[in-house]
Amino acid sequence: SLCSAGAPNLSYQELKDLKKASVLHIDVRERWEIDRFGKIPESINIPLGELMEALQMDPTEFKDQYNQKMPSKSDPVVFSCLAGTRSKQALAFAMSLGFS
């Protein structure tokens, strides 16, 4: 398992390779940061403050809100932010909800 609690950092190329294999990429930056610095292609933006609620939504509600299929607890997910601090928090949140 790629993220088995070690919370590894990925290079840009590693992320690009992972995205070819249907990995859900969640960008936990704030919306204003996306507006200012740009969206990472094929990522979905769920600001860190919304993440816990989002990962506990009904799958239909998640799809309506984020235009993306909700990940199952065993689906591969990559979190990103600007410097790595929020993405580590996002990983901890997801793992606390039972995501592997």
SS3 label, residue 64: helix
What is the pLDDT confidence band of residue 42, given thresholds at 50, 70 and 90? confident
State how many domains the chain has.
1
Residue pair 21/14 in contact (Cβ under 8 Å)? The answer is: no
- Of 81, 90, 91, 94, which is the active-site residue? 81
How many angstroms separate the CA atoms of 58 and 66, rounded? Answer: 12
Please report whether residue 78 resides in a domain: yes
> Does residue 4 sit within a domain?
no
In a domain, 59, yes or no: yes
Specify if 83 maps to a domain: yes
CATH of the domain at 60: 3.40.250.10
Q: What residues are paired with 26 via a beta bridge?
A: 44, 79
* Rounded Cα gap, residues 77 and 99, in angstroms: 9
- Mean pLDDT estimate for the chain: 86
3 catalytic, yes or no?
A: no
Domain assignment present for residue 7? The answer is no
Residues written for the chain: 100
| Domain of 79, in residue numbers | 12-97
**How do residues 81-95 score in pLDDT, each as one tens digit?**
988 899 999 999 999
